Amino acid sequence: MDKVLIIDDDEWNRQIMKETLKKEGYTLFEATDGESGIATARKENPDVVITDYLMPGINGLEVLMELRKLRNNMPVILLTGFGDVGLTIKSIQMGAFDYLEKPVKSSQLKTVVRDALNSVKVSSSLNEVIPDDISTVLVDNLLVGKTPQMKEIFKNIGRISMNKVNILIQGDTGTGKELIARLIHFSGITRDKPLVIVNCSALTESLLESELFGHVKGSFTGSIRDKAGKFELAGEGTIFLDEISEISLNTQVKLLRVIQELEFEKVGGEASVPMKARIIAATNKDLEELIKQGKFREDLYYRLKVFTIGLPPLRDRKEDIRDLVVHFLHKLNKRFNKNVVKIGDGVIEMLQEHEWQGNVRELENTILQAIVMSKADVLEKENITLIARRHSIVESSQGEMQFKTLADLEKYHIKRVLDDLKWNKVEAARFLDITRPTLNAKIEKYDLKQD
Ligand SMILES: Nc1ncnc2c1ncn2[C@@H]1O[C@H](COP(=O)(O)OP(=O)(O)OP(=O)(O)O)[C@@H](O)[C@H]1O
Ligand SMILES: [Mg+2]
């Protein structure tokens, strides 16, 4: 029989709760203050505890903290004064299962206790998934991945981190480009040198140039002193140029010069400064396509991609999802002071079926939201909200195709051309007037298959 402990100094209130819960068939224990309540809990190991907040001696939150030490997944329900918003927030932050406002309604009491008991049952049927404690720094920079694609990437990082070739990281949004850049920087010869990150899309052309190369005093209004640019600050370390596709053609020319001549001039200055940093550039765009459109210089492209790392979208490495979930539970529990250490049945399968347009970042946000919403120590389906699959091709009533986005149209067109040409990719690429690699990239991106 399930055991419920009630801690409250108010005799009348205890009486009412006892009567309600007795009818539900629970075994009841009671205490009139925090200390004796904790003593009873230690002796009887109740399944659920209900505690008042304001009592002589220690208060309900202190009781909660002590009970946590006793058994981590013991649900504690806090009784709060009506409308005491501050306290209810605090109690949930500190890990109370739920709170009930006084005077307690018997129907609410029954529901909350039943929910709490349920959560204990689910919890005790599952094992903890979080590994032994490792340091926060390590957790934050850990790169998870056991699929062959990811292993191959790790191997390549091993190869390239011991010299300073320029690297281009390509991958859809949220696939981990910045994390990879950090890993390359911190695992090789640049480890003890600076890592400087520049988001190329965040600045206008002239600001970006002064940001990259620095400027001398008086070179433009407002430049009241010399300023070192990011290339200078990176020294012999790494400069990470994020969203490289966003830099203007003018700046591209200047960047190309830096790479070729290994030196640069500050804006408004004459003396040249040597460039010794390794450049890692990242993009979620198809640079070859931009070259075709005249928006990106081909010569710069080849200078940047001495070595290329292509990060696969998450939906192509579903086997990593479980490890990623465990990793994020570990990382986010710490950050948000939660204790979700178990994974409910069917959760991983559900996550593996999702499309993950936003890739690993979307997964991380989903887990974060679920952690924040969970009352107990289990990651459960009910707390996971998945962004609905993006609307794709819709057939109208007349049977003609309607496309929501340009990408949908492109996908449909490429598939039709491929099918018409019996998947002869050379011919399809020629017909579509794109290169073979671009065609391959699109086939992969849209997950096209021969019927
Ligand atoms: N393999 C991985 N293991 C652990 N965490 C990961 C992994 N890949 C990505 N992440 C996490 O997912 C989030 C997004 O990663 P990151 O910022 O590196 O992506 P990105 O490709 O740079 O995205 P964007 O194109 O939007 O800039 C980060 O919090 C990162 O720590
Ligand atoms: Mg990024």
Kindly report, residue by residue over 296-352, the tens digit of the pLDDT.
999 999 999 999 999 999 999 999 999 999 999 998 988 887 889 999 999 999 999
pLDDT given at position 126: 85
| pLDDT score of 256 more than 90 | yes
Count Cβ atoms within 10 A of the Cβ of residue 177 and give its class: 0-12 exposed, 13-18 middle, 19 or more buried.
buried
The CATH number that domain 148-311 falls under is: 3.40.50.300
Q: Which of 37, 61, 57 has the alpha carbon at shortest distance from 49? A: 37
- Give the tokens for residue 183: 């890993």
Alpha helix (H) ranges present in 315-424?
321-336, 347-353, 359-373, 406-420
Residue 138 pLDDT level (bands cut at 50, 70, 90): low
Given the structure tokens 């010569």, which residue do they identify?
299
Q: How far is the CA of 360 from the centre of ligand 2 (A)?
A: 11
Fold (topology level) of 394-445:
Arc Repressor Mutant, subunit A (1.10.10)
Q: In terms of pTM, does the model score above 0.85?
A: no
Judged against a pLDDT cut of 60, whether residue 97 lies above it is answered with yes
Give the pLDDT confidence score for residue 124 in this predicted structure.
85
Residue 389: pLDDT band with limits 50, 70, 90: very low
Nearest atom in ligand 1 to the alpha carbon of residue 141 is 31
Confidence of residue 151 (pLDDT cuts 50, 70, 90): confident
- The share of the chain scoring above pLDDT 70, in percent, equals 94
Please give the pLDDT value at position 394. 40
**Which residues have any ligand 1 atom within 6 Å of their CB?**
142-145, 171, 173-179, 284, 324, 327, 360-361, 364
Q: How far is the CA of 362 from the centre of ligand 1 (A)?
A: 9
CA 302 to ligand 2 center in whole angstroms? 21
Residue with tokens 């081909």: 298
Nearest to 93 by CA among 335, 333, 328, 336: 336
User: CA 178, CA 32: separation in Å to the nearest integer?
Assistant: 55
The mean predicted confidence, pLDDT, of the chain is 88
Mean pLDDT of 424-433: 84
Q: Distance from the CA of 174 to the center of ligand 2, in angstroms?
A: 7
| Alpha-carbon span 400 to 420, nearest angstrom | 19
Q: Which atom of ligand 1 is nearest to the CA of 171?
A: 21
Reply yes or no on whether the pLDDT at 390 is more than 50: no
* Residue 441 or 398, more confident: 441
State both tokens at 279: 């450049």
CB contact burial 250-288 (16+ within 10 A = b; e otherwise): ebbebbbebbeeeebbbbbbeeebebebbbbbbbbebbe
Within 13 Å, how many C-alpha atoms sit on residue 76's CB side? 32
Q: How far apart are CA 61 and CA 95, in angstroms?
A: 9
CATH 3.40.50.300 positions along the chain are 148-311
Residue type for position 136: T
Q: Please check whether residue 314 is in contact with residue 359, taking contact to mean a CB–CB distance below 8 angstroms.
A: yes
CATH topology of domain 317-383: Helicase, Ruva Protein; domain 3 (1.10.8)
Q: Start-end ranges of CATH 1.10.8.60 in the chain?
A: 317-383
CA distance linking residue 240 with residue 183, whole number of Å: 12
* DSSP 8-state class, residue 223: -
Which residue is it, tokens 């720094």? 137
* Residue 172: pLDDT over 90: yes
Omega before 103 cis (within 30°)? Answer: yes
Ligand 1: atom nearest CA of 174 is 23
Helical (H) or strand (E) element with 55: none
> Could you give the dihedral angle defined by the CA atoms of residues 205, 211, 213 and 216, in that order, rounded to the nearest 10 degrees?
100
Average pLDDT, stretch 151-155? 88
| Cβ atoms 229, 210 nearer than 8 A | yes
Nearest to 350 by CA among 324, 311, 385: 385
**Best probe residue, ligand 1, of 134, 167, 179 (max atoms within 8 Å of C-beta):** 179
Which amino acid residue places its CA nearest to atom 18 of ligand 1? 176
Question: Do residues 169 and 307 lie in contact, with contact meaning Cβ atoms separated by under 8 Å?
Answer: no
pLDDT band at 395 (very low <50, low <70, confident <90, very high): very low
Averaged pLDDT, 414-419: 86
Predicted local distance difference test score (pLDDT) of residue 399: 42
Q: Which helix (H) or strand (E) holds 298?
A: helix 298-304
Is residue 121 scored above 60 in pLDDT? yes
**pLDDT confidence of residue 166:** 95
Domain 3-124 sits in CATH 1.10.10.10: no
* From-to residues of CATH 3.40.50.2300 in the chain: 3-124
